C-alpha cells in the first residue's frame, strides 16, 4: 500500500512540475562522432574562430517536443517503478528479493498519479 501511495504522489508531482503540455528536450550530438571519428582537442589542437559560432565544430542540436504525460509514463512507470526493484536487489546484494507485486503496485500508483494530473488539468 505504501508503494502505491508514494508512486502516485511522485508521478503526480513529476507531471505537474512542467508548466506546458509539451516538454522541449534538446538532443545534441557532434557530427564528428556520427562519422566514427572522435575529435580530442587536447591531443589534436585546432584553431577555432569564435565569431558567431558558440558551439564546437560540427555540433548541432535538435529539439524534440514530448507530451508531458507520455514522458511521465516513460520515466515514472517504466524506468522508476520497474527499475527501483532491480536497484533494490543490486544495492542490497540480494538481501531484498525481486517482488512482482511491488512492481505492480509501483506501476499502478504511477499510472493513477499521471491520470489524476491529467484530469485536474483538463
Do residues 25 and 66 lie in contact, with contact meaning Cβ atoms separated by under 8 Å? yes
Q: What is the pLDDT averaged over residues 101-110?
A: 89
Q: What is the pLDDT averaged over residues 16-28?
A: 81
Model pLDDT, residue 40: 52
Give 75's contacts (C-beta < 8 A, 6+ positions apart).
Answer: 14
| pTM of the predicted protein model | 0.65
- Residue 29, sorted as left (phi over 0), alpha (psi -120 to 50) or beta, turns out to be beta
4-20 pLDDT, tens digit each: 888 888 898 888 888 88
Q: What is the pLDDT averaged over residues 21-46?
A: 59
| Angle formed by the axes of helices 2-16 and 100-121, nearest 10° | 40
41-98 pLDDT, tens digit each: 555 544 444 444 455 555 556 777 888 899 889 988 888 888 888 888 888 887 877 7
Q: What is the pLDDT averaged over residues 25-36?
A: 58
Is 112 a residue whose pLDDT tops 90? yes
Amino acid at each position: 500500500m505504501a508503494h502505491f501511495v508514494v508512486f502516485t504522489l511522485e508521478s503526480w508531482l513529476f507531471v505537474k512540475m512542467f508548466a506546458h503540455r509539451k516538454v522541449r528536450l534538446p538532443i545534441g550530438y557532434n557530427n564528428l562522432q556520427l562519422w566514427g571519428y572522435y575529435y580530442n582537442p587536447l591531443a589534436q589542437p585546432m584553431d577555432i574562430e569564435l565569431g558567431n559560432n558558440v558551439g564546437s565544430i560540427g555540433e548541432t542540436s535538435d529539439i524534440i517536443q514530448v507530451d508531458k504525460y507520455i514522458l511521465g509514463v516513460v520515466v515514472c512507470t517504466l524506468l522508476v517503478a520497474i527499475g527501483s526493484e532491480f536497484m533494490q536487489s543490486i544495492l542490497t546484494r540480494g538481501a531484498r528479493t525481486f517482488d512482482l507485486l511491488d512492481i505492480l503496485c509501483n506501476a499502478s500508483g504511477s499510472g493513477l498519479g499521471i491520470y489524476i494530473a491529467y484530469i485536474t488539468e483538463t
